[in-house]
Amino acid sequence: MAPGTARTPLSSHRLIAAAVDLADEAGIDAVSMRALAQRLGVVPMALYKHVASKDVLLDGMVDLVLAEVEAPDPALDWRAAVRARVLGARRAVLRHPWARRAIESRTHRTAVVLAHMDAVARHFLDGGFSPDLTHHVMHALGNRIWGFSPELFEEGPAGDAPAPDPEQQAAVARELAQRFPGILAIATAATGGDLSSVGQGCDEQFEFEFALDLLLDGAERLQRSGWASTAHP
Amino acid sequence: MAPGTARTPLSSHRLIAAAVDLADEAGIDAVSMRALAQRLGVVPMALYKHVASKDVLLDGMVDLVLAEVEAPDPALDWRAAVRARVLGARRAVLRHPWARRAIESRTHRTAVVLAHMDAVARHFLDGGFSPDLTHHVMHALGNRIWGFSPELFEEGPAGDAPAPDPEQQAAVARELAQRFPGILAIATAATGGDLSSVGQGCDEQFEFEFALDLLLDGAERLQRSGWASTAHP
DNA sequence: ACGCTAGGCGTACGCTGTACACCTCGTCAA
DNA sequence: TTGACGAGGTGTACAGCGTACGCCTAGCGT
Say which of B138, B181, B207 has its CB closest to residue A139.
B207
Together in a domain, A31 and A120: no
Backbone angles phi, psi at A180, to 5 degrees: -130, 65
Q: Which of B104, B115, B192 lies at the smallest CB-CB distance from A180?
A: B115
Residue B214 in this model has a pLDDT that exceeds 90: yes
| Closest among B2, B3, B4, B33 to B19, alpha carbons compared | B33
**Cross-chain residue pair B183–A118, CB shorter than 8 Å:** yes
Q: Which of A193-202, B108-117, B174-183 has the lowest mean pLDDT?
A: A193-202
d(CA A114, CA B11): 47
**C-alpha angle with apex A170: A166 to A171, nearest 5 degrees?**
120
Which residue of chain A is at minimal alpha-carbon distance from B209? A140
Q: Tell me which of A31-35, A157-161, A197-201, B17-21 is least confident.
A: A157-161
Residues with CB under 7 A from strand D: A 31-35, 44-45, 48, 53-55; B 1, 9-10, 42-46, 49-50
A141 with A178, same domain? no
The pLDDT of A49-55, averaged and rounded, is 97
Q: How far apart are CA B152 and CA A168, in angstroms?
A: 42
What's residue B41's pLDDT?
A: 94
Q: Residue B200: is its pLDDT beyond 60?
A: no
A14-41 as b/e: b if 16+ CB within 10 A = ebbebbbebbeeeebeebebeebbebbe
Interface test with A, best of B112, B117, B144, B152 (most A CBs within 10 A): B152
How near does any CA of chain A get to the CA of B222, in Å? Answer: 9
B109 by Cβ neighbours in 10 Å (0-12 / 13-18 / 19+) ranks as middle
Q: What is the pLDDT of residue A229?
A: 67
Span A74-128, pLDDT tens digits: 999 999 999 999 999 999 999 999 999 999 999 889 999 999 999 999 999 999 9
**B5 pLDDT above the threshold of 50:** no
Let me know if residue A126 belongs to a domain.
Answer: yes
Q: DSSP letters along chain A, please?
A: --TT-PPPPP-HHHHHHHHHHHHHHH-GGG--HHHHHHHTTS-GGGGGGT-S-HHHHHHHHHHHHHTTPPPPPTTS-HHHHHHHHHHHHHHHHHHSTTHHHHHHH--S--HHHHHHHHHHHHHHHHTT--HHHHHHHHHHHGGGGGT-PPPSS------S-S-S-HHHHHHHHHHHHHH-HHHHHHHHHHTTT-GGGGGG---HHHHHHHHHHHHHHHHHHHHHTT---SS--
Residue A73 — pLDDT band, cuts 50, 70, 90?
Answer: very high
Residue in chain B closest to A233 (alpha carbons) equals B192
Separation in Å, CA of B7 to nearest CA in chain A: 38
Read off the DSSP letter of residue B192: T
Q: Work out the average pLDDT over A10-34.
A: 97
| Residues of A in Cβ contact (< 8 Å) with B215 | 140, 214-215, 218
Residue A12, min C-alpha distance to chain B (Å): 24
C1'-nearest nucleotide to the CA of A29: D17
Is residue B25 very low, low, confident or very high in pLDDT (cuts 50, 70, 90)?
Answer: very high
Interface of B with A in 74-133 (CB under 8 A): 104, 107-108, 111, 114-115, 117-122, 125, 130-132
Binary contact (B139, A149; C-beta < 8 A): yes
Q: Which of residues 174-193 of B touch A (CB under 8 A)?
A: 179-183, 185-190, 192
Report the distance separating Cα B147 and Cα B70, nearest Å. 13
- What distance in Å separates the CA atoms of residue A155 and residue A186, rounded to the nearest whole number? 16
Whether A183 and A212 share a structural domain: no
* Spatial separation of the C-alpha atoms in residues A223 and B185, rounded to whole Å: 17
**Torsion over CA: B196, B156, B93, B76 (sign):** positive
Residue-number span of the structural domain to which A132 is assigned = 66-149+203-224
Taking the Cβ of residue B211 and every Cβ of chain A, the question of whether any pair is shorter than 8 Å is answered with yes
What is the sign of the dihedral through the CA atoms of B94, B98, B101 and B107? negative
Q: How far is the CA of A46 from the C1' of C4 (A)?
A: 20
Residue pairs between chains A and B whose CB atoms are closer than 8 Å = 178
Instruction: Assess B67–A contact: CB distance below 8 Å, yes or no.
Output: no
Q: Report the C-alpha gap between B229 and A200 in whole angstroms.
A: 19
Does residue A56 lie in a domain region? no
Tell me if A43 is assigned to some domain.
Answer: yes
**Does residue A210 sit within a domain?**
yes
Beta carbons within 8 Å of A145's beta carbon, 6+ residues apart? A86, A89, A116, A117, A120, A138, B152
Considering the domain architecture, whether residues A143 and A216 belong to the same structural domain is answered as: yes
Q: Is residue B203 a part of any domain in this protein?
A: no
CATH number of the domain enclosing A17:
1.10.10
User: Do A101 and A214 share a structural domain?
Assistant: yes
Spell out the residues 6+ positions from residue A147 whose beta carbon is closer than 8 angstroms to its own: A69, A86, A87, A88, A89, A90, A91, A92, A93, A94, A208
Residue A133 lies in a domain: yes
C-alpha distances (whole Å) from B111 to each of A28, A180, A182, B115, B227 are 29, 9, 13, 6, 31
Q: Are residues A106 and A209 in the same domain?
A: yes
Number of separate domains in chain A: 3
The answer on pLDDT for B181 being more than 90 is yes
List the single range of A192-201, B26-35, B79-88 with lowest mean pLDDT. A192-201
Q: Is the dihedral of CA B190, B193, B194, B196 positive or negative?
A: positive
d(CA A109, CA A87) in angstroms, rounded, equals 21
CA of A67 to C1' of D19 (A): 29
Please check whether residue A5 lies inside any domain of the structure: no
The residue among B161, B160, B143, B155 whose CA lies nearest residue B211 is B143
Asked whether the predicted pLDDT for residue B169 surpasses 80, the reply is: no
Tell me the Ramachandran region of residue B48: left when phi exceeds 0, alpha when psi lies from -120 to 50, beta otherwise. alpha
Measured between beta carbons, which residues in chain B are less than 8 angstroms from residue A131? 185-186, 188-189
What pLDDT sits at residue B197? 53
* Res A7: pLDDT: 57
Based on the domain organization, do A27 and A126 belong to the same domain? no
Higher pLDDT, B163 or A48: A48
Nearest to B217 among A144, A192, A218 (CB): A218
Q: What are phi and psi of B18, to 5 degrees?
A: -65, -40
Element (H, E) at B177: helix B166-179
Q: Which tops the pLDDT comparison, A174 or A71?
A: A71
- Any A CB within 8 A of B206 CB: yes
Q: Express each pLDDT in A115-167 by its tens digit.
A: 999 999 999 999 999 999 999 999 999 999 999 987 765 554 444 444 556 77
**Quick one: A36 and A91 in the same domain?**
no
- The CATH number of whichever domain residue B42 belongs to comes to 1.10.10.60
The DSSP-derived string for B97-138 is TTHHHHHHH--S--HHHHHHHHHHHHHHHHTT--HHHHHHHH
Please report whether residue B97 resides in a domain.
no
Q: CB atoms < 10 A from the CB of A228, how many?
A: 10
Residues of B in Cβ contact (< 8 Å) with A156:
107-108
String of DSSP letters for B73-99: PTTS-HHHHHHHHHHHHHHHHHHSTTH
Identify the CATH number of the domain in which residue A132 sits. Answer: 1.10.357.10
Question: Could you tell me if A212 and A100 lie in one domain?
Answer: yes
* Mean pLDDT across B17-43: 97
